[in-house]
Amino acid sequence: MNAQPVLRLDNVGCSKGGRPLFRGLQCTLRTGHWLHVAGANGAGKTSLLRMLCGLSPIDSGDIFWNGQSIRAQRTEYQQDLCYLGHLNGLQESLTALENLSFATALRGHAAPLAQLAETLARFGVAGRGQQLVRHLSQGQKRRVALARLALAPARLWVLDEPFVAMDDAGMRMLEALIAGHLDHGGLAVLTSHQTVNIGSAPMQTVELRS
Amino acid sequence: MKAGQTRRVGTGAVLLAVLRRETALALRHKGEVLTPLVFFIVIASLFPLAVGPESNLLARMAPGVLWVSALLAAMLSLQRMFASDYADGSLEQMLLSPTPLALLVAAKALAHFVLSGLPLVLVAPVLGLQFGLGGQSLGILMLSLLLGTPTLSLIGGIGASLTLGVRGAGVLLSLLVLPLYIPVLIFGAGAVEADASGLGASGHLSVLAALLVLALFFAPLATTAALRISLE
Amino acid sequence: MTTPGSHLFKYAAPQKFYALAGRMWPWFAALSAALVAVGLWLAFFVAPIDAQQGQGYRIIFVHVPTSQMSMLIYLVMAGWAGVGLVFNTRLSGMMASALAPTGALFAFLSLVTGSLWGKPMWGAWWVWDARLTSELILLFLYLGFLALQSSIDDPRRADKACAVLALVGVVNVPVIYFSVTWWNTLHQGASVSLTRVPSMAAPMLWGMLTMVLAFWMYTVAAALARVRSIILERERHTEWVKHAVE
């Protein structure tokens, strides 16, 4: 695994339903930095993030991870990537612990239940591990979804509106978590409507407009 | 990153995790699993009501009727395969997993077979008795369903992944998948008939096994392609 | 770096192809009409009366070409679909969508003419012979394609999904045909077969070939005309379309 991973967007463009959303996006993100994707509603922030993950095809241009196009190295790239989208990725009929256990397994890792429970506690959902996700509040569900970030190593975090439904304490916790991740050599790309303060980490902004 | 305490596991463990999850979900939604089974029984019972209880006729019809009913019941539960994971974002996470998606899909199809197909295999002989099938025929019926229902799950996965989030997905899924089911139906019902008429079912059963192997290789690939398209 | 064929690639752009198709399809339509006239003349006036089947057999001059075309179109459709998936070109998907209704039409006509042939010959409007049954299943595959196309709102996603479906279908067609043939011989033996075309005298062969060519020309004309309206609809946000429809 590359110790100094680099994410590079080269002339990236996107269109939806035949209409172009944005074009010519150029950006390089290095270790320890994070990228703030800004833009009005409907400007294409989620589309860009999905393109970054490899979920959506890149309409024009290319995205490079460690010098190689992400299209050419899907498995390696996905090993390094953790994505949190609008949807939590949690099955309502399973407990929080079961969901986390599966999410960890999907990334090719395993963790003992005690560690999962401890992680939930760190994310402010202590003692709710055995409850079905259906019975948690929106904010608690989001926290469980975020707990995935702490469980399996990924160099690049792609987070779509991670601060939504979080209270002040939650926001502080998440900011600290991302700061810690960046300190340890990670990268992050996120969108947020709120002002975000991730310690002293260097930030780049990409503004999407047509 | 403090995540170093989690240990890496092999692909086998990941697939087991998929199976465990599907089983847990099925146990919490027993109705979803049992309803197609009941449907199977009800549909099969409609035929004697429609054509009369004459035992020779029923015995002759039995392989076809039971196979068609099993097919329809298997189809009913296809939507479960991906729809709820699609709705809550779990499917997205599966697409982003470093584990090859084709293997995850195969694991899901296996789970679907165990939870939806196997019950049909176990209940079919009871219905076969109602239709007057003899002992050996019942065995062949079970064997043909055992070989055929995994294929139905695998092929059904293609249809289920193509119609994710689409209007009228249920009926559309049936329309897409039924023509592809026809070879399995022909050889499945044919096996029981061949046995009943004394010709021996081994030829039919071999073809069913061959179809299963074909489906095992190609269906997960097609399903993977369809899933990526549905989640673009 | 221009290779001999590279100038053709400009036609992969919908706008250029729209113009090209517009110029081409009337020729194909005219050719098709001419060939149909010749074919029907050969079928009705030149080909001799069959010893066993009398005048009624002449319907095969429509039945056999339509069933061959329905299968050929499915192959071509799947081919375009595959190209579209591999090269991610928009036009390939549109071509596949343009061909599908014509393919379905030929499959349907094949069933109807097969039925019309069967009635005077065998006394039944429908026989479950291997060819007709396979044709029926092919019609189902076409209808599935069309249904999936119309159910998905996003045209790019619809094209790609239908492409996967077409490729899965094309792999299944031999399996289905094999299964249905087995099923038919097992149950009916060699009793009924609509595929027993009378042994071909030369004028019959010419008539058949002419009709196949005629339907082929019609397919090309119909597909080109249809792809033009698909292009207009899909690209309606672009400038050139706005000018074209003014």
Chain CA centroid to CA A62, Å: 20
The alpha helices in C13-59, defined as continuous H runs, are 14-41
Q: How many CB atoms lie within 10 A of CB B130?
A: 15
Mean pLDDT of C169-187: 86
Does residue C8 carry a pLDDT above 70? Answer: no
Chain B residue closest in CA terms to A186: B1
- Mean pLDDT, chain B, integer: 92
- Does a structural domain hold residue C4? no
Residue A50's pLDDT is what? 92
Chain A residue closest in CA terms to C231: A18
Between CA A154 and CA B222 the distance in angstroms is 29
Instruction: Name residue, tokens 């680099």.
Output: A6
Which chain C residues touch B182 with a CB distance below 8 Å? 137, 176, 179-180
Mean pLDDT of B32-60: 91
Q: How many CB atoms lie within 10 A of CB C69?
A: 24
Q: What CATH number has the domain spanning A1-80+154-210?
A: 3.40.50.300
C residues 98-137 near B, CB within 8 Å?
A: 137
Does residue B222 carry a pLDDT above 50? Answer: yes
Which chain B residues touch C164 with a CB distance below 8 Å? 158, 162, 222, 225-226, 229
Chain C residue closest in CA terms to A59: C88
Q: E strands within chain B?
A: 7-8
CA distance A114 to chain C (A): 43
Q: Is A127 left (phi over 0), alpha (psi -120 to 50) or beta?
A: left
Band of pLDDT at residue C191, cut at 50, 70 and 90: very low
Closest CA to A91 of B88, C18, B133: B88
Amino acid identity of residue C56, one-letter, is G
Which chain B residues touch C168 with a CB distance below 8 Å? 158, 180, 222
Judged by CB atoms closer than 8 Å, whether chains meet at B175 and C160 is answered as: no
3-class SS shares of chain A: helix, strand, coil, % to 5:
35, 30, 40
Q: Report yes or no: B107 and B82 within 8 Å, Cβ to Cβ.
A: no
A residues 24-53 near C, CB within 8 Å?
A: none
State the first-to-last Cα distance of chain A, in angstroms, to the nearest integer. 36
Which H/E stretch holds residue A189?
Answer: strand A187-191
- Does a structural domain hold residue C14? no
Instruction: Name residue, tokens 């799950």.
Output: B153
Mean pLDDT of B151-176: 93
- Does a structural domain hold residue C51? no
C79 strand-pairing partners: none
Between CA C95 and CA C84 the distance in angstroms is 9
Least confident among B138-152, C53-67, C163-177: C53-67
Least confident among A3-7, A35-39, A119-123, B112-116: A3-7
Chain A residue closest in CA terms to B227: A55
Which chain B residues touch C143 with a CB distance below 8 Å? 175
From the list A54, A83, A91, the residue facing B88 with the nearest CB is: A91
Q: What is the largest CA-CA distance in chain C?
A: 66
Total domains present in chain C: 1
User: Cβ of B230 under 8 Å from any chain C Cβ?
Assistant: yes
Domain extent at residue C180: 27-44+57-244
Instruction: Name residue, tokens 């991610």.
Output: C88
Mean pLDDT of B219-229: 95
One-character DSSP codes across C98-153: HHHHHHHHHHHHHHHHHHHHHHHHHS-S----HHHHHHHHHHHHHHHHHHHHHH-S
Q: What is the CA radius of gyration of chain C?
A: 20
Judged by CB atoms closer than 8 Å, whether chains meet at B179 and C140 is answered as: yes
Q: Is A115 left (phi over 0), alpha (psi -120 to 50) or beta?
A: alpha
- Does a structural domain hold residue C166? yes
Which chain A residues touch B3 with a CB distance below 8 Å? 150-153
User: Cβ of A17 under 8 Å from any chain C Cβ?
Assistant: yes
pLDDT digits (tens, 9 = 90+) for B99-156: 999 999 999 999 999 999 999 999 999 999 999 998 899 999 999 999 999 999 999 9
Which H/E stretch holds residue A175?
Answer: helix A168-183
Between CA A116 and CA A118 the distance in angstroms is 5
Amino acid identity of residue C168, one-letter, is V
Q: Report yes or no: B169 and C152 within 8 Å, Cβ to Cβ.
A: no
Amino acid identity of residue B115, one-letter, is L
Which chain C residues touch A57 with a CB distance below 8 Å? 88
Chain C residue closest in CA terms to A58: C88
Band of pLDDT at residue B179, cut at 50, 70 and 90: very high
Amino acid identity of residue A52, one-letter, is L
From the list B8, B13, B232, the residue facing A56 with the nearest CB is: B232
Q: How many CB atoms lie within 10 A of CB C46?
A: 14
Chain C residue closest in CA terms to A17: C154
Closest CA to C167 of B15, B54, B72, B219: B219
Number of H helices, E strands in chain C: 7, 0
A34 strand-pairing partners: A188, A203
Band of pLDDT at residue B44, cut at 50, 70 and 90: very high
Q: Report yes or no: B70 and B147 within 8 Å, Cβ to Cβ.
A: no
Judged by CB atoms closer than 8 Å, whether chains meet at A153 and B231 is answered as: no
A116 strand-pairing partners: none
Judged by CB atoms closer than 8 Å, whether chains meet at C235 and A57 is answered as: no
Closest CA to C145 of C205, C77, C216: C77
Mean pLDDT of A58-85: 88
Which chain B residues touch A181 with a CB distance below 8 Å? 1
Residue C28's pLDDT is what? 87
As to burial, measured by CB atoms within 10 angstroms (0-12 exposed, 13-18 middle, 19+ buried), residue C70 is buried
Judged by CB atoms closer than 8 Å, whether chains meet at C171 and B218 is answered as: yes
Between CA A159 and CA B49 the distance in angstroms is 59
Closest CA to C97 of C25, C140, C146: C146
Judged by CB atoms closer than 8 Å, whether chains meet at C151 and B168 is answered as: yes
A98 strand-pairing partners: none
Q: Report yes or no: C35 and C212 within 8 Å, Cβ to Cβ.
A: no
Instruction: Name residue, tokens 């309502």.
Output: A92
Band of pLDDT at residue B1, cut at 50, 70 and 90: very low
Mean pLDDT of C142-171: 93
Tokens of A49: 């993030």
- Does a structural domain hold residue C52? no
Tokens of C194: 């609509």
From the list C88, C154, C237, the residue facing A19 with the nearest CB is: C237
CA distance C170 to chain A (A): 26
Between CA C170 and CA A182 the distance in angstroms is 50
Residue C76's pLDDT is what? 95
User: Cβ of A176 under 8 Å from any chain B Cβ?
Assistant: no
Which chain C residues touch B186 with a CB distance below 8 Å? 179-180, 182-183
Q: What whole-number percentage of chain C has pLDDT above 90? A: 32
User: Cβ of C153 under 8 Å from any chain A Cβ?
Assistant: no
Tokens of C95: 């071509």
Between CA B94 and CA A83 the distance in angstroms is 11
- Does a structural domain hold residue C35? yes
3-state secondary structure A89-151: CCCCCCEHHHHHHHHHHHCCEECCHHHHHHHHHHCCCCCCCCCEHHHCCHHHHHHHHHHHHHC
User: Cβ of C151 under 8 Å from any chain B Cβ?
Assistant: yes
Which chain C residues touch B198 with a CB distance below 8 Å? none
- Mean pLDDT, chain A, integer: 86
Does residue A1 carry a pLDDT above 60? Answer: no
SS3 at position C197: coil
Judged by CB atoms closer than 8 Å, whether chains meet at A55 and B92 is answered as: yes
Chain B residue closest in CA terms to C167: B222
Mean pLDDT of A128-134: 87
HSE-up (13 A, CA, CB side) for residue B113: 20
Which chain C residues touch B162 with a CB distance below 8 Å? 148, 161, 164-165
From the list B4, B25, B96, the residue facing A83 with the nearest CB is: B96
Which chain B residues touch C176 with a CB distance below 8 Å? 179, 182-183
